[in-house]
Chains A and B, each alone.
Chain A
Amino acid sequence: MNWKFSTASELFARLDESGLDLPAYLLARESFYAGKTEMELREEIARRIRVTKAALDRGIREPQVSFSGMTQGGAAKLAHSESWPVEDDLFRRALTYALAINEVNACGGKVVAFPTAGSCGIAPGLLWAYRDARDAALGPDHPRFQDAFIVASAVGMLIAARATLAGAAGGCQAECGAAAAMAAAGLAWLLGEDERGSLDAAALALKNTLGLVCDPIAGLVEVPCTKRNAFMAAEALTAVCLKRAGISSVIPFDEVLGAMKMIGDSMPSTLKESAEGGLAATPTGLSYWEKIK
């Protein structure tokens, strides 16, 4: 078996050669490299999915308040809001869950970086929202639910190979942008898209966040990060809505990654997680340096 790929087109070639679908191929590959059985790997994936659920529940149940004071139990407010202008249960849960998980992270709780900690609410938030709103049969031990996380991981692997998943190297397009693309691919897979369709949904999402800067106030993973997790869950959902309507990305996934890499490289370091530019450099943003001393 050939386990080597660095682009989506190479990955598709591997799938065509092997006759496996994307989750089966990646599990077999990981089993080969890590020396673990596919069942052991699935158990570990299930364990990590359960950690995302624990963070989600905690973020809603216990209003998360951070040391800096910038995080003030937003997810708990959303969960109990009676002023939603939108009726859709999936949408409401996606926003609430993504925010809940990321607020737990901001407050130093236990999460799963997916792909990073600052973006850890987006994909699990959206996938759990789909589970709770539309398909209660799914869950950590359900192979299809695990497969959605695996497809999302594949998007992260490809972004890491061609561009980066570090805000310090590529700005927030590489973190929350990447996570939204991963979430879109995972949900598209759950809805029945194949590999190409799922990666096309990822491309739609990723294009919308190219150039997104990483300008965290006082260098904390809080503002704009936590609320951005909610926004990005909505973006990922939008990408899947477009894809399911038959709308495709004009620029293929691999080429979007090339653009992402070029944009990240040309972004000034003041806008790449250095806390020296953007929101971090505003008067209010600067005032938080004093508050956390």
Chain B
Amino acid sequence: MTATTTGILDILGPVMIGPSSSHTAGVARIAFLARKIFPYPLLRARVSFYGSLARTYRGHGSDKAALAGLLGILPEDERLGYARELAEREGLAYEIVPVYEGPERYHPNTAVIELWAADESGEKSAERYIRIRGASIGGGEIRLQSIGGFEADLDGSLDALLVLHRDEIGVIAIISHILAANRFNIASAVSHRKDKGDEALLVIEVDGVVPAGIVAQVRELPAVREVVYVPSIRA
């Protein structure tokens, strides 16, 4: 058995608006991280609930929680209760879809967040779409298990850099060199590629907060297509 990484404040927490840590707070956190990963002006959003969430999301306010997360509201914030009204005020078009028969491999509490972003002219753009699958595994703890078609395992406990890059020799080495040169410790680095030489997603969890200037250095690398910085959801 692997050693537990859970801490005191994971169990004594989160501080949250009721009624469910897994179905309210966890869902808000999944959507919050999804929005951080896809930081573009949103055209619309689709939230699909699987398993227990599909059957019980109304009573748990999971729909409000998901909208809150998409609006950058964390589980502790009282505004979570009015997220539907806030979404309307912000002009966020959304649909909530319960999926009663989901894939067997999905966790029993799964939310899939799909986001579409406007391009500069405000029109719908085929390039700007992402699908993120998150599992709410209990007590408000979550795992993002799929990000934009790549398998993942991100729990939001640490700040993370998500780097979309061409799968070629040396990219990971250069990025870790940039972080090391600026004295950032890499807690984990996992690369997921679609195929050899194809696109790959590198997920780097770091101790501490990486300044925007260093993130920009990574973004400027020739093989790098996109970088997003995802802050920790821990208090």
B130 in contact (CB, < 8 A): no
B194 neighbours in A (Cβ, 8 Å): none
* Complex contact B108–A113 (CB within 8 A): no
A276 neighbours in B (Cβ, 8 Å): 55
* Complex contact A30–B7 (CB within 8 A): yes
* Complex contact B17–A112 (CB within 8 A): no
* Complex contact A273–B4 (CB within 8 A): no
A113 neighbours in B (Cβ, 8 Å): 13-14, 16, 21, 25, 139-140
The main secondary structure of chain B at its interface with chain A is: mixed
Among the listed A35, A48, A117, A269, which residue makes an inter-chain contact with B21, where contact means beta carbons less than 8 Å apart?
A117
Bitwise interface map of B from 22 to 34 toward A, beta carbon under 8 Å scored 1, else 0:
1111000000000
Closest to A34 in B: B7
B156 in contact (CB, < 8 A): no
* Complex contact A162–B55 (CB within 8 A): no
Q: Which residues of B contact A (CB under 8 A)?
A: 1-25, 51-52, 55-61, 76, 78, 81, 108-109, 136-141, 207-208, 234-235
A165 neighbours in B (Cβ, 8 Å): 11, 138-139, 141
* Known A109-B17, A164-B138; further 9 A-B contacts with Cβ < 8 A: A10-B3, A112-B12, A112-B16, A153-B11, A157-B10, A160-B11, A274-B56, A275-B55, A275-B59
* Complex contact A274–B55 (CB within 8 A): yes
- A166 CB to closest chain B CB (Å) equals 3
A97 in contact (CB, < 8 A): no
> Within the assembled complex, what's the spacing in Å between the Cα atoms of A117 and B140?
9
> Within the assembled complex, what's the spacing in Å between the Cα atoms of A123 and B76?
20
Q: Which residues of A contact B (CB under 8 A)?
A: 3-7, 10, 26-27, 29-30, 33-35, 41, 44-45, 47-48, 51, 68, 104-118, 120, 149-150, 152-154, 156-158, 160-162, 164-169, 174, 182, 216, 218-222, 269, 272-276, 292-293
Among the listed B3, B18, B21, B57, which residue makes an inter-chain contact with A6, where contact means beta carbons less than 8 Å apart?
B3
Among the listed A41, A104, A219, A274, which residue makes an inter-chain contact with B8, where contact means beta carbons less than 8 Å apart?
A41
Can you list 27 residue pairs at the A/B interface with Cβ under 8 Å?
Answer: A4-B3, A10-B3, A27-B8, A30-B9, A35-B208, A41-B9, A68-B59, A105-B18, A106-B19, A107-B18, A112-B12, A112-B13, A112-B16, A116-B22, A116-B138, A149-B12, A156-B139, A160-B11, A161-B3, A161-B6, A168-B138, A221-B20, A222-B19, A272-B108, A274-B55, A275-B52, A276-B55
> Within the assembled complex, what's the spacing in Å between the Cα atoms of A164 and B136?
12
B19 neighbours in A (Cβ, 8 Å): 105-108, 117-118, 220-222
Closest to A123 in B: B12
> Within the assembled complex, what's the spacing in Å between the Cα atoms of A132 and B59?
34
A3 neighbours in B (Cβ, 8 Å): 3
A10 neighbours in B (Cβ, 8 Å): 3
A33 neighbours in B (Cβ, 8 Å): 5, 7
> Within the assembled complex, what's the spacing in Å between the Cα atoms of A10 and B2?
12
> Within the assembled complex, what's the spacing in Å between the Cα atoms of A106 and B15?
14
Among the listed B2, B3, B52, B138, which residue makes an inter-chain contact with A274, where contact means beta carbons less than 8 Å apart?
B52
* Complex contact B18–A116 (CB within 8 A): no
> Within the assembled complex, what's the spacing in Å between the Cα atoms of A35 and B208?
8
Closest to A26 in B: B8
Q: Decide yes or no: A162 and B1 within 8 Å by CB, A30-B8, A153-B11 being known contacts.
A: yes
B141 neighbours in A (Cβ, 8 Å): 160, 165
- B158 CB to closest chain A CB (Å) equals 9
> Within the assembled complex, what's the spacing in Å between the Cα atoms of A272 and B108?
9
A27 neighbours in B (Cβ, 8 Å): 8
B8 neighbours in A (Cβ, 8 Å): 26-27, 30, 41, 45, 149-150, 153-154, 157
B140 neighbours in A (Cβ, 8 Å): 113, 116-117
> Within the assembled complex, what's the spacing in Å between the Cα atoms of A44 and B7?
13
